[in-house]
């Protein structure tokens, strides 16, 4: 039985997948931290305008994270599928 090691394109794809997945996880954690500071309901008067401004800023930050989070998640999944497919293809090519 041969020992197979990951070399060439599969290795590079897995390295890229690891980097993109790490970015995805960091963005996801950051969004969770921001969401934990967001209040569902606040009652404000004119004196608490700074609290309302902070909440609006939090919502803007969370909204801005949505697109990079989606892109990095999709890219992570695509790279994993591509690396797996290439690994299977190389294995089948080597055996036949």
pLDDT tens digits, 28-53: 999 999 888 776 666 667 777 777 78
Q: What is the mean pLDDT of the chain?
A: 86
Q: What is the pLDDT of residue 4?
A: 61
pLDDT digits (tens, 9 = 90+) for 70-89: 999 999 999 999 999 999 99
- The HSE-up count of residue 61 (CA atoms within 13 Å, CB side) is 17
Look at residue 13 and tell me whether its pLDDT is greater than 90.
Answer: yes
Annotated domain spans of the chain: 10-36+53-95
pTM metric for this prediction: 0.80
pLDDT score for 49: 78
Q: Cα separation of 45 and 47, whole Å?
A: 5
What does each C-alpha distance from 96 to 10, 20, 68, 92 come to in angstroms? 19, 33, 42, 6
CB 14 within 8 A of CB 84: no
């Amino acid at each position: 039985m041969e020992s197979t090691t990951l070399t060439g394109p599969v290795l590079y794809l897995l390295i890229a997948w690891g980097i993109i997945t790490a970015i995805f996880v960091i963005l996801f954690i950051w969004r969770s931290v921001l969401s934990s500071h967001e209040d569902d309901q606040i009652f404000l008067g004119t004196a608490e305008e700074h609290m309302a401004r902070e909440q609006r800023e939090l919502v803007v930050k969370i909204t801005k994270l949505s697109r990079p989070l989606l892109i990095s998640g999709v890219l992570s999944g695509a790279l994993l599928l591509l690396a797996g497919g290439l690994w299977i293809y190389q294995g089948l090519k080597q055996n036949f």
